[in-house]
Amino acid sequence: GQQLNQSPQSMFIQEGEDVSMNCTSSSIFNTWLWYKQDPGEGPVLLIALYKAGELTSNGRLTAQFGITRKDSFLNISASIPSDVGIYFCAGQGKTSYDKVIFGPGTSLSVIP
């Protein structure tokens, strides 16, 4: 079935550094979503991408929908301590009847 892979699995960075993470799939998706999960909370949507090649920003976050439709990237600039958490990518297939599939997550730790 459809499966998403995320890399890296975990990251430890200094405050102020930029962060890059990516998500890949063997299947084509028509929607890519990036979520952040704080400890003990449900995931919260950060950015949604609907078109191949699309580049979208949300504050210090920028995400891109890969041209092949099989990957997506999330960048965080000038990281701060509250960026700590788990970042999940998710994809949805061709129609709005397709279920949303989640990747295993990238755990981000920011060292002050």
Partner 1 sequence: NAGVTQTPKFRILKIGQSMTLQCTQDMNHNYMYWYRQDPGMGLKLIYYSVGAGITDKGEVPNGYNVSRSTTEDFPLRLELAAPSQTSVYFCASSYPRRPPVMNTEAFFGQGTRLTVV
Stretch that binds partner 1, among 13-21, 27-35, 64-72, 76-84 (CB under 8 A): 27-35
Residues linked to residue 110 through DSSP beta bridges, in sequence order: 13
| Residue 39 is a binding residue for partner 1 (CB under 8 A) | no
Nearer to partner 1, 13 or 48 (CB): 48
> Long-range contact list for 23-27, CB < 8 A, 24+ apart?
23/71, 23/72, 23/73, 23/74, 23/89, 23/91, 23/103, 24/70, 24/71, 25/70, 25/71, 25/91, 26/2, 26/70, 27/2, 27/3, 27/70, 27/91, 27/93
Asked if residue 66 binds partner 1 (CB under 8 A), the reply is no
Applying CB under 8 A, does 50 fall inside the site for partner 1? yes
Candidate ranges 13-21, 33-41, 54-62, 73-81; the one touching partner 1 (CB under 8 A) = 33-41
Q: Judged by CB under 8 A, which of 14, 41, 59, 67 binds partner 1?
A: 41
Shortest distance, CB of residue 16 to partner 1, whole angstroms?
27
